[in-house]
Chain A
């Protein structure tokens, strides 16, 4: 069966994990200098730094397994949108789906997405800490500690905004409603996941949904937010079919590396 150590499925799986971290990290970094308060500006930059650090570790590992000369920089900077494997949720603009293109980010959208991803990462990294891929297990154990801090921060703000003023509650609920349909992709198991799970390298993400909901539900309840209903919509970013937003994000992130190949600080 496919999915053995070093197989294309294994590498694909690592890229999915790394791309989620990098693309979300890049989105959070957009808050740098624009946060709603100095402390939050610093928090977003710090969380972005953790995520980008995790992506580097995953890319470096994937590059070594691939063994065709791509390092972490080549993987991050020299792939086009269809080669990216992040879930679509990570690439949606900070202004939200409904007001995409707005110059200003919406902190409710960022808070809702951080809550969804941090809890997802906590559950995912916890499971991957016992991966048969020892490098992945080490990255997971390290990332889990960081994800817990991210989750704490996101829960705090979800409650503060959800159970805050009438306006903050309305915006938080709207953000949650608009992002929720994109959470389904996080728990869609496909052939890649099944193959790596068979070898104990990865996990079938569908198995994470109950424990993910068990984290998210009490936080949303305390925040007086309604959990949105499930829909049939399925985003497909992890298969390489992205929203229109990823291209813009990568264009900005990759422009220097593409204009000056091999540039060094």
Chain B
């Protein structure tokens, strides 16, 4: 039963990056399966992430389809999600999509003032060149920044470490 719950959840993907499952993203915090009940605990990436509601609905549909019709889906805020929870497989998939995966978490030590501390190096996900530059702190979604490769000249998204 545990395995079939997991198999159902493996089919739920991030609506904004459909290559990534909710396990790849690290937003599934607990899956509690007993003889009678299924409980899934998820955590939002960003407070205002508009995909959260869609993900919850998708989990419910996937569990329904697998026969777990009265599953409980709970949201937990603590501990706060970090990009460190994105799996190795998730990072590979991001890179294949042309999205630079997040570097090591910088949230707690992040410089408030980046003029004084150099930005982390973000290699180009297409050609691997380290010669990249940031175009904008905010990108196509809340979780990404916009970069450009100075070698292959391609712009790309960078999944911001938080």
Binding site for B on A (CB under 8 A): 39, 42-43, 46-47, 49-54, 56-57, 122, 134-135, 137-139, 141-143, 145-146, 148-149, 151-153, 155-156, 159, 215, 218-219, 222
Contacts and interface: CB of A to CB of B under 8 A. Distances in A.
A47 B142 CA distance: 8
B88 interface: no
Interface string B41-81: 00010111110000000000000000000000000111111
7 contacts: A42-B139, A50-B46, A50-B47, A50-B142, A137-B78, A143-B47, A153-B137
Contact of A138 (B78, B112, B140, B162): B78
B113 interface: yes
B146 A134 contact: no
Contacts of A215: 112
B137 A43 contact: yes
Contact of B112 (A142, A143, A145, A151): A151
A145 B137 CA distance: 14
B91 interface: no
Contacts, number: 90
A139 B142 contact: no
A51 B137 contact: no
B7 interface: no
A50 B114 contact: no
Interface size class of B (residues with CB under 8 A): 20 to 34
Contact of A49 (B50, B135, B146): B50
Given A42-B136, A142-B80, A149-B162, A156 B48 contact: no
Contacts of B85: none
A164 B48 CA distance: 33
B117 to A, nearest CB: 11
Interface of B: 44, 46-50, 76-81, 107, 110-115, 135-142, 146, 160, 162
State the main secondary structure of chain B at its contact with A: loop
A142 B47 contact: yes
B84 to A, nearest CB: 12
B78 A148 contact: no
Contacts of B76: 138
A157 to B, nearest CB: 10
Contact of A141 (B46, B79, B136): B79
Given A146-B47, A148-B107, A148-B112, A134 B78 contact: yes
A152 B48 CA distance: 19
A158 to B, nearest CB: 10
A215 B112 CA distance: 8
Contact of B114 (A54, A137, A152): A152
Contacts of B160: 149
Contacts of B142: 46, 49-50
Nearest to A41: B138
A149 B136 CA distance: 12
Given A53-B46, A138-B80, A155-B115, 12 more contacts: A42-B138, A43-B137, A49-B48, A49-B142, A51-B48, A54-B48, A143-B47, A145-B80, A145-B107, A146-B162, A148-B107, A152-B137
